[in-house]
Amino acid sequence: MQLIYFVLFLSVPILEIYLFLKVSEYIGALETVLLIVMTAIIGSFLIKREGRKTIHRIKTISFSNPENLLKALGDGFFVVISGVLLLTPGFITDLVGITLFFKNPRSYILNLLIKRMKFSSFKNFRHDHSTED
């Protein structure tokens, strides 16, 4: 798993630079820079707006149902991540950021993570019936 992260860490910036060059060949250098600046402005706006919404949502959620709280926190987390990715210069990060901004992909990923957390906590639970005399 660490190898995958390492490969992504190295390959994403290289792909981003390649895409910058290709897009600037196609639409022009100035337009490419303006596009990058525009997505950064949108990203900063999203972080600000959705951060406030998430804080308000968390304040109004009943703590009797921890799954609703977890979903609200996760939803807000992914929207903030979406904004951060839009702030980051690059077309791949923008694509992932835009995808995370929409509710359906965000909910799908969040539900997968919640299921994985439940399964891993269940899997790590051991009930030991052995007795030592």
pLDDT digits (tens, 9 = 90+) for 25-81: 999 999 999 999 998 898 888 888 877 887 887 777 766 677 777 778 888 888 888
Whole-angstrom CA distances from 120 to 1, 5, 56, 63, 102 are 16, 21, 30, 23, 27
In angstroms, rounded to a whole number, what is the distance separating the alpha carbons of residues 15 and 17?
5
pTM of the model: 0.73
Over residues 81-97, mean pLDDT: 90
Whole-angstrom CA distances from 33 to 29, 78, 106 are 6, 26, 28
8 A C-beta contact, residue 47 and residue 84:
yes
In angstroms, rounded to a whole number, what is the distance separating the alpha carbons of residues 73 and 118?
16
Q: Tell me the three state secondary structure of residue 133.
A: coil
Domains in the chain: boundaries: 2-123
